[in-house]
Amino acid sequence: MNSPNPSREGLRNQDASQNGAHPQASPRSHALASLLIRDYRWFWIGSLAAFLAMNMQMVARGWLIYKELNGTALDVGWTMVAMALPMAVLGLPGGAISDRVFKRDVVAMALGASAIFSLVISVLIHTGAIQFWQVLLSGFFNGMVFAFLGPARMSFIPQLVGDRHLVNAVALNQSGMNLTSIVAPVAAGFLIARFGTAVVFDLMVVLYLLGVVAVLLVKDRGKPVSATRRNILREIGDGLSYARRERVVLALVVFSFVPMVLGFSYQLLMPVFVVDALKAGSVSLGVFMTIIGAGALTGSFVVAAVSNFRWQQRLMVGCALGWGASIVVFSLAPNAVIAALPLVLTGLTGSVYMVLANSFMQVYALPEMRGRVTSILMTAHGLMPVGLLPISVLADSIGVRQAFVGSGLLVVLAVALIWALMPALRRLPAPAFGGSTMTSRGPSRSDPVSAAGTVSPTVGGAQDG
């Protein structure tokens, strides 16, 4: 029996999505399955261009402040706070808004705004008028944009590919991000050395605009899924109440939120570790960041290739534990060569854990709540400096190695406690896919899975009243 043409199947899926139904999954299942769907393919290309710009920006902005404006390490840190603060404050409103507007338009406008911010900085550098406060303000505006971009992007993916391909699509999205985290920093460093920082910002403008064009080529606009148009604060409250009420969603939110805030300090403080603990220089720092990106890229490909739900569940929890453990092992390495192997595992396990946790959050959340649930993770990103500050204090007082060991152990402890105290995470029901999206319901006497303490995915349009 001949199998259907996957590209035509993807087009039919996209047409169904435009008519309000989720696309049917193709019988073929492989690591690039989601890219056979036309709309997701253009979305992925646009995201790749944007990720390149974002990763270049991380290098160019730090170099601009520290070297060209003769700033301090604290100045570089303030730019991180300037970006994180609006993400923490506006993350939840951004999720509520993404549930009530066309998601494609939000993504396109956010990338266009990022292009404008980059252009302003580029012009200021070219004219010699650039000052620290201008870079700080640009970072603040970028944080505002990302607060809306993140929930809209993540909640758009299920509408493009349907629930059956969701884990694969999120993994491919993460693969693009990880790939650019390897390529973009090296490219930015070369361009700065050869042509100057302004050229990097020029290229970022081009990349953001390419992202806008690719996203606008997506035919499905990602129609609003929120059925009401109430006060935005009430919708935010509804999202928080929903995440608290639905036990599977709550467990996945906590599982995504807490370890991430506790564990990401190692990456943010990597320059301190390289210099103080390993007595190495900027070359080793660049190599270490590339190793993390390579491990993360490998991890996202692993997720894309694994289609069995129970294996995905085991991978999520196992890799969360492995992420914390590999941070501990890395921090105890006596030199840069020995540190490389656990650092690969750190990137791999962290990527697998985050991709699967984010994917499951999208799968189990009601369609009209996906943007708001995702926005909770944006708030977590905004709160990363909260986790960074105590680890930084420990690094200054007892040493960066000991601080990293503490961070890794906290991640392991947090994962173990969440697993022990939240039975819904241990009993995730296997997803059931049908002609519409999978939704979650509250506990019901007639539903043995829900009555046992988890949220049951259903087929069709059953929703809470």
Query: Which CATH topology does 233-431 take?
Result: Growth Hormone; Chain: A; (1.20.1250)
**Which of 36, 249, 256 lies closest to 162, judged by CA?**
36
**Which of 141, 146, 75, 174 lies closest to 382, judged by CA?**
146
Please give the pLDDT value at position 161.
Answer: 82
Please give the pLDDT value at position 320.
Answer: 92
Residues ≥6 apart with Cβ < 8 Å to 440: 246, 248, 249, 364, 365, 366, 455, 456, 457, 458
What sign does the dihedral 45-49-51-52 (CA atoms) show?
positive
Please give the pLDDT value at position 386.
Answer: 67
User: Cα 249 vs. chain centroid, distance in angstroms?
Assistant: 17
Structure tokens at 270: 């990597």
Please give the pLDDT value at position 282.
Answer: 57
Please give the pLDDT value at position 23.
Answer: 43
Beta pairing partners, 444 = 447
The DSSP code for 444 is B
Domains of the chain, residue spans: 32-217, 233-431
pLDDT, averaged per 10 consecutive residues of the chain (465 residues), comes to 42 41 45 80 91 85 75 67 80 73 88 94 91 90 86 80 75 78 78 85 95 92 65 72 78 84 79 78 70 83 76 87 94 88 91 84 74 71 70 80 92 92 80 42 32 28 31
Please give the pLDDT value at position 61.
Answer: 81
**Which of 362, 363, 382 lies closest to 372, judged by CA?**
362
- Element spanning 75, H or E: helix 73-98
Please give the pLDDT value at position 432.
Answer: 54
Give backbone dihedrals phi and psi of 458, rounded to 5 degrees, phi first: -125, 165
Structure tokens at 326: 């590999």
- Rounded to whole angstroms, the Cα distance separating 144 from 121 reads 17
- Rounded to whole angstroms, the Cα distance separating 375 from 149 reads 10
Dihedral Cα 192, 143, 378, 436, nearest 10 deg: -90
Please give the pLDDT value at position 30.
Answer: 63
- Rounded to whole angstroms, the Cα distance separating 25 from 163 reads 8
CATH 2.40.160.60 is the classification of domain 32-217: no
Buried b (16+ CB within 10 A) or exposed e, 380-408: bbbbbbebbeebbebbeeeebbebbbbbb
- Rounded to whole angstroms, the Cα distance separating 3 from 330 reads 47
Residues ≥6 apart with Cβ < 8 Å to 195: none
**Which of 5, 79, 34 lies closest to 169, judged by CA?**
34
- Rounded to whole angstroms, the Cα distance separating 62 from 82 reads 13
- Rounded to whole angstroms, the Cα distance separating 273 from 293 reads 18
Q: Do the strands 456-459 and 438-441 form a parallel or antiparallel pair, or are they unpaired?
A: antiparallel
Model-wide pTM > 0.75: no
